[in-house]
Amino acid sequence: MKTIYSAIQPSGVMTLGNYIGAVDNWHQMQADPNNKCIFALADLHTITVRQDPAKFHENAMSFYALLLALGLDPKKSIVYFQSHVQQHAYLAWLLNCYTMVGEMNRMTQFKDKSQKHSDNINMGLMDYPVLMAADILLYNAHEVPVGVDQLQHIEIARDIAERVNGIYGDIFTVPKGVLKKVGAKIMSLQDPLAKMSKSDPNPKSFISVLDDDAVIMKKFKSAVTDSETEIRFDPENKPGVSNLLTILSVATKKSVDDLVKEFDGLMYGHLKVRTGEAVCEMLKPMKQEYNHLIKDEAYLLECARENAARAEAIAQETLDRFKKAIGYVMI
């Protein structure tokens, strides 16, 4: 079987971009009987930016409920909290000793986040890619579904795995990053040249998967397009319209080409309303299931414990293999 691994940070809200670019892809991969799927809430990564403890806890529980509500099956896949499996931090330290400082200095995300959080440029922020490599390599992942902005981190994970394997033999599976064919990167509704982000100070720029239908419709109706009138897919010259077509394609499961034909002669307003309605319909069953799950904390914690134990068994085997290769005394 092919092992699939991916993770999402439980900070802020889950945006439509998170759902389309990542979680919906996970759901499709879980449906393939040839895949062994492992999905994590990357809550160790989250504290590279200061968190309010109460809100952090609330968000973490909310995200876990959302993953289950969106169709991730904790019996079929492993769906767990990263912080519940201590081997992540242990392997990250070992991998630090096989990672070059220059490699970390070149990481684009570190540079970007350092500018955004100039008052808190901590070592965790710089070491983020090594922990991410540990996350992936612990589970012998063959494929890692990611957004475009994470591809550089996958390359570093591959480099580290190949470096270790070159020294000690076949220790780690070398992973491959996988992009979704449609919707790998959903853009801001207010600035279609920027990625949709939950950290955007303008709430109109992103859709939360838990937004009310009225809020979703209002945000889509105010989406930035352009001064032309033709509806066509042209990300370079018409990024706003192209972003709406991409979202609508995912929500309706229709090809972008077919949608362009359907909107021939229609106005941007029609596209905005249709996209908003399709997104509301797509998210409706998830919201209903989420409202049920979030009230049952005992069930969520039981799932988290069981799945962490399953993850830990795999992680410990990998960690022991690496420690033995290095020469540690094993007891």
Confidence class for position 292, pLDDT limits 50, 70, 90: very high
d(CA 67, CA 14): 10
pTM of the model: 0.89
Confidence check: pLDDT of 182 > 70: no
DSSP code per residue over 55-72? HHHHHHHHHHHHHHHTT-
Residues forming the active site? 113, 195, 198
Superfamily of domain 2-179+297-326: HUPs (3.40.50.620)
Confidence check: pLDDT of 193 > 90: yes
E strands, 152-201, are: 176-178
Confidence check: pLDDT of 183 > 70: no
Beta bridge partners of 178: 145
Summarize the confidence of residues 175-187 as an average pLDDT. 81
d(CA 284, CA 288): 6
Confidence class for position 197, pLDDT limits 50, 70, 90: confident
Q: CB of 84 within 8 A of CB of 304? A: yes
How confident is the model at residue 326, as a pLDDT?
A: 97
Please, which residues have CB within 8 angstroms of residue 43's CB and are 6 or more apart in sequence? 9, 10, 56, 60, 81, 82, 83
How confident is the model at residue 107, as a pLDDT?
A: 77
- Let me know if 56 is exposed, middle or buried by CB neighbors in 10 A (0-12, 13-18, 19+): middle
Q: Where are the domains of the chain?
A: 2-179+297-326, 203-291
Q: CB of 68 within 8 A of CB of 291? A: no
Please give the DSSP secondary-structure letter assigned to residue 15: B
Beta bridge partners of 15: 208
d(CA 20, CA 245): 13
Confidence check: pLDDT of 276 > 90: yes
Confidence class for position 296, pLDDT limits 50, 70, 90: very high
- Let me know if 116 is exposed, middle or buried by CB neighbors in 10 A (0-12, 13-18, 19+): exposed
Q: CB of 251 within 8 A of CB of 278? A: yes
Collapse the DSSP code of 183 into the 3-class scheme (helix H, G, I; strand E, B; otherwise coil) and give the result: coil
Summarize the confidence of residues 251-278 as an average pLDDT. 95
d(CA 131, CA 125): 10
Residues in the chain: 331
Q: Give 65-93 pLDDT, tens digit per residue.
A: 999 999 999 999 999 999 999 999 999 99
CATH topology match: 2-179+297-326 vs 203-291: no
Please give the DSSP secondary-structure letter assigned to residue 34: T
- End-to-end alpha carbon distance in the chain: 31
Confidence class for position 222, pLDDT limits 50, 70, 90: very high
If residue 114 lies in a helix (H) or strand (E), which one and from where to where?
helix 108-116
Confidence class for position 114, pLDDT limits 50, 70, 90: low
Summarize the confidence of residues 264-288 as an average pLDDT. 95
178 versus 94: the higher-pLDDT residue is: 94
pLDDT > 70 fraction of the chain, expressed in percent and rounded = 95
Confidence class for position 202, pLDDT limits 50, 70, 90: very high
19 versus 273: the higher-pLDDT residue is: 273
Average pLDDT, rounded, for the chain: 92
How confident is the model at residue 110, as a pLDDT?
A: 67
d(CA 294, CA 132): 28
- State CA 79 to chain mean position distance: 13
- State CA 37 to chain mean position distance: 14
Superfamily of domain 203-291: Tyrosyl-Transfer RNA Synthetase (1.10.240.10)
Pairing of strands 176-178, 35-41: unpaired
